[in-house]
Amino acid sequence: MEKKPDFKELTRRERQIMEIVYRLGRAMATDVMEHMSGRPANATVRTLLSVLEEKGYLTHATEKGKYIYSPTVPLTSARRSALDNVLETFFSGAEAAAAISILKKADAKLTEAERKLILEIIEESRKRGR
Amino acid sequence: MEKKPDFKELTRRERQIMEIVYRLGRAMATDVMEHMSGRPANATVRTLLSVLEEKGYLTHATEKGKYIYSPTVPLTSARRSALDNVLETFFSGAEAAAAISILKKADAKLTEAERKLILEIIEESRKRGR
DNA sequence: GGCGAAGTGTTAAATATTTAACATGTGCAC
DNA sequence: GTGCACATGTTAAATATTTAACACTTCGCC
């Protein structure tokens, strides 16, 4: 596959579908259809899934005659790109605010290992920073 | 203005423009044009800016005969929505990983106040969490 | 004031996207 | 094997988006 998927080039519906598939991890047309605004028909969604596969964003496995689509860009990579884009677009110079905002929501769910890691980063920041 | 701007409903070019305007804070057609992929003509960009204004996403002030566009959704609100969407789409169950990732990149730029705040959140997490 | 660069206003066509009907296929329960 | 629910395959039209040419205006400099 030569295409380098670029989420900025996705059309409205394509982008909506990509987000749904990432959320679900893998999905059939009916799954995607149920999550879409504007209630497009099943055939509509299938056409769009097919286009996305041609463009290299999705791939499908056939299970019992059914098409199960999944993203071609691995989650770790997609996470990186998506997060970078949001930071660059909305949080330029305020990246820490984004992190803090997330931590405030996630604090009850932090593991000990995560807390330890964050403390290490803070310590490192003290050594280097201001 | 009755419309509630919903970024998921933006077309490909509209979304690209919105991100550029948020990055720049405020922008004229030529500014936006310079940042766009595919090198659309000035008249193209102006049409799209005008559409976005009609849809309620942008507003413009006239300065010396020039249209300076800015977003209608305040940055704080846009930040919230964008970040939530990325977390929900790509980081479900792994929100802490997003925060950690950001902190790793931003650690040299953390202020003392930010470090203090993060430490407080970690402490709070210890009390409540696992 | 004149001029030119750079801006807006207007219009509509080219192009892309979205839509979905209908024919056909698959798998499973009976 | 049969029937049915639910899936895919195919085709093309409706709709939306993107594109930009050209006329006109604004502003700053000389």
ipTM of the complex: 0.92
Q: How many other CB atoms are there within 10 angstroms of residue B120's CB atom?
A: 12
**A58-63/B58-63 β-pairing:** unpaired
Domain spanning A7-71: CATH 1.10.10.10: yes
Closest by CA position to B121, among listed A18, A99, A86: A99
CA distance B108 to B119: 16
Residues 61-90 of B with CB under 7 A from strand D: 64-66
Residues of A in contact with B122 (CB under 8 A): 103, 107, 110, 115, 118-119
Q: Does A113 touch chain B (CB under 8 A)?
A: no
- Predicted confidence band at B108 (pLDDT cuts at 50, 70, 90)? confident
pLDDT recorded at residue A1: 41
CB contact under 8 A, B99 and A103: yes
Q: How many residues in chain A?
A: 130
Residue B38, pLDDT > 50, answer yes
Fold observed for domain B8-71: Arc Repressor Mutant, subunit A (1.10.10)
Q: What is the mean pLDDT of residues A70-88?
A: 96
Mind listing the pLDDT tens digit for each residue in B67-76? 999 999 999 9
Interface mutation vs chain A, best among B10, B112, B118, most A CBs within 10 Å: B118
DSSP B62: E
Q: What is the mean pLDDT of residues A16-45?
A: 95
| Protein residue minimizing CA–C1' distance to C7 | B66
How far: B45 CA to D18 C1' (Å)?
10
Catalogue the E-assigned strands of chain B. 58-63, 66-71
Torsion angle (degrees, nearest 10) of CA B94, B99, B100, B106: 160
CA distance B24 to A87: 13
CA distance A23 to A21: 5
